[in-house]
Structure 1
């Protein structure tokens, strides 16, 4: 960590240069993020994606083919619509999105949805509101509009941006498949930790390739300590809002939000990634996979990854140290 603090210091002038070159509307989204440092750590760890820093500073394109990273399995899934087709339909899809932008029927949800939009605007994640004329002047006339609607999950309200309704998601494609670690991967890790230590202090681990690793439990561990594990989850706050939409996707980045105060739809521009765009899922997981890989290979963290959550297990006797490390990768 001391070494990478030095690397971070050496790279800071260049990081600042790239940040200052960004449009002002994007600077607040990625303020303080060290994409060059992430790229250097990924390179040192042997991670195959060499475009992390470029992706961080250029933003995520909402349409077109996503860049291949080499970090996920190959699986061709081309767009089903072209950008040109989405633009041709924009006049009608825009009218539909604005026409359907009415109260959800839940006054409290409408109020919270609007307040969230205002809060995101104040944080720099959205810009606006704008009139249609202002947007046509800023973005040219073929811009799309996607509706934002509320979904309540327990005591939390999620703001969903429906980029499928505006056909933006249909214009996105990728050459890779996201293989995210779920509960099975976490259960396999726990099983390996507990079951790999035998009563005679031998340690036996069978890899997915069939290769068997054998060793002897370190003398600093008792068998009970080696089998006594704990778990926690590191969840990234407002994860998708940590990256921004590419400037070339501005035409596809307009959302419609119902304003309960006026009873009318209001138009905002997405500056940070929307929750509801297929491209945002790929763009965010590209960065998250790199963080996971660095944690495993360089920091020895026993963790998995599922979107913006990093489930983490460890031996109780070393859990404090590993928690310190997992919060500072």
Structure 2
């Protein structure tokens, strides 16, 4: 609304709410004649006029000043309106939001089409492009004949022109991926924008010119750093694998350092010992090559959330038994070559365990450890995944070189042969035997996660960490606890492994443990593990062993809504302090409610004898009671909790508070999350829009009249408060 007066008299100050309706005075232009009670005055802003002079206009025969003050009111939703909006908004972190649309469409086609039709569509598409591959064979040879020798050798198995025509004909959005593969991957400079990934800008830290200028001095340090790891097995493996790369045409060398170009950059190659293998790492960060890279996107491979959302989408439309497996590309990065213009920055220093000296090799295939290598490979892998979804109706995801694939049991053989022909058509080698080639099964491992599909016909799928991952992580934690110290690098590595494993555990107990590890490694107080961090690591290890698998259910894809509120009016004889809550179905219909008045002893436990107000603690108590009393209903479900106290919402989100009482209440909340395996989201509801305000004050007539059953919560409150003691 706008006032013709510069400073009209208003009934409340800014950010205050009206206790009663306010009739808009004459002289104020307003879309409504009366501002309802509980509306909040957001601002009263003077309006400036052109040239700093007051402008005038003719109005009903008189000269009056133009609008000189703008008044903004926030009019809250009614309780029913807010619940309706909450239903429409849904849960911000629903798994259904994680599935890419092209994959969702593929899942829907698998549910709707007959198996015979799926088989026919796949066969016709593959036959068409196999014939096209034969027709393009001579053109393919001409294309590769114009490539540098090393790139022609690496890309020889690829049917590049077929791949390009498929992308063009099917309408793929990133046709530049073909040019990058044909020209080879760069190691420095700007990463091309693909529109396949999230927009995130990260500037380069140094220029390519600066890298070239410092190359000669820096490579001497890199060559001298090529020394023994102290583990003969690691040294032998790194050197022997480097020689294997030379034999395969993925590298060249050894190279005499005296023949290196003046601007040649040498990075250190070392081995990282993992559980069952030793991985070669090319440290292009240490040599500053990665510092020249500037990006506008963040490549995000499909995590287990995408796999979970794929299974959930399939659960919605399919009841037949479903199987799964992982297709693993062999030496994935080595199937792509470097651009000729990148070879000056592709040298690595490798320790020769026989001569006890460092040797220099030039990498020709994309190195594992280069920032641009990650972008380039994921860009290519994304196109392969997209073709499978769009053209062949494959239900699969892509995590780096792993393609996790689902299939209805009766159609699994056809899916397996389809993937095989697709990879062979485009010239990509994948594991066809050994540990990385398992048949379709009701239980399979991918990305360190075990996916259990046995209960798919019953409406749910289970995700858990593999026993191997759990055992390795617990062993690592125990080794640090025994040693009693943990460096920054060790802590960062442990935290990363904990974070990945925690993704398959319900609740946020693991996050609190990781926070303790994080606080320690960045405390600057040395490597000795403090008692708090040690206790947190022990809890995480126990949590890994005892946590139930993460379940994805067909019937609970939509979120429940929980509203809680509290009142604290110590001067009242009848209802000095109360909590109330309402549980709503995902449709917005009330399911259950509770209303409870705290006695003086309960209030004292929350601090009424020491503090002027305990409304924050009571609001948090109401939230905890709701999570516990309805845990059997919310099991395995997404749920949005609405509270009208910012502090209660904030500590519920962060999982920690500043007092013993608050932290113990939070512990109860987190334990309830784990026990019911819920997916919680915490949000604020304005007080006037909170439907649980009435039951928190003992006003239950309207809900009872609507037939909403009230659940007793006295025993739950007593159990919670008894654990707080008199702290």
- TM-score, normalised on structure 1? 0.88
Q: 1:281 and 2:402 equivalent? A: no
How far 1:37 moved relative to its partner?
1.1
1:21 aligned residue: 146
Q: 1:74 and 2:167 equivalent? A: no
Once the two structures are superposed, residues 15-47 of structure 1 have per-residue CA deviations (whole angstroms, 9 ceiling, x without a partner) of 111211112222221112111111111222221
1:254 aligned residue: 347
Question: 160, 164, 171: which is aligned to 1:46?
Answer: 171
**Which protein has the larger Cα radius of gyration, Structure 1 or Structure 2?**
2
Return 290-299 or 74-83, whichever deviates more: 74-83
**2:271 and 2:342 mapped to 1: Cα distance?**
24
**2:202 and 2:132 mapped to 1: Cα distance?**
38
Question: 272, 279, 288: which is aligned to 1:151?
Answer: 272
**1:265 and 1:184 mapped to 2: Cα distance?**
43
**1:37 and 1:52 mapped to 2: Cα distance?**
13
Q: 1:234 and 2:327 equivalent? A: yes
Which consecutive residues of structure 1, in runs of 5 or more, have no partner in the other structure?
Answer: 198-222
**1:10 and 1:174 mapped to 2: Cα distance?**
38
Which consecutive residues of structure 2, in runs of 5 or more, have no partner in the other structure?
Answer: 1-125, 423-727
1:84 aligned residue: 209
Q: Aligned runs of 1:173-184 on 2, under 5 Å?
A: 173-184=294-305
Once the two structures are superposed, residues 79-102 of structure 1 have per-residue CA deviations (whole angstroms, 9 ceiling, x without a partner) of 111101111221222111111110
CA contact (8 A) 2:249 2:364 kept: yes
Question: 112, 129, 153: which is aligned to 2:254?
Answer: 129
Higher relative contact order (CA 8 A, sep 6+): 1
Give the aligned length.
297
CA contact (8 A) 1:47 1:71 kept: no
**1:55 and 1:13 mapped to 2: Cα distance?**
21
**1:90 and 1:322 mapped to 2: Cα distance?**
50
How far 1:68 moved relative to its partner?
1.7
2:307 aligned residue: 186
Once the two structures are superposed, residues 50-78 of structure 1 have per-residue CA deviations (whole angstroms, 9 ceiling, x without a partner) of 12322121000100101222222332223
SS of residue matched to 1:176: strand
**2:186 and 2:287 mapped to 1: Cα distance?**
16
2:236 aligned residue: 111
How far 1:307 moved relative to its partner?
0.8
**2:219 and 2:171 mapped to 1: Cα distance?**
45
CA contact (8 A) 2:151 2:339 kept: no
Q: Aligned runs of 1:51-62 on 2, under 5 Å?
A: 51-62=176-187
Once the two structures are superposed, residues 212-235 of structure 1 have per-residue CA deviations (whole angstroms, 9 ceiling, x without a partner) of xxxxxxxxxxx4x2xx11110011
- C-alpha spacing 1:12/1:78, structure 2 compared with 1 (3 Å): farther
**1:46 and 1:320 mapped to 2: Cα distance?**
29
- TM-score, normalised on structure 2? 0.40
Return 77-86 or 256-265, whichever deviates more: 77-86
1:214 aligned residue: none
Deviating runs (4+, > 6 A) in structure 1? Answer: none
2:620 aligned residue: none
SS of residue matched to 1:303: strand
Once the two structures are superposed, residues 176-235 of structure 1 have per-residue CA deviations (whole angstroms, 9 ceiling, x without a partner) of 2212211011011112212334xxxxxxxxxxxxxxxxxxxxxxxxx4x2xx11110011
Q: 1:295 and 2:388 equivalent? A: yes
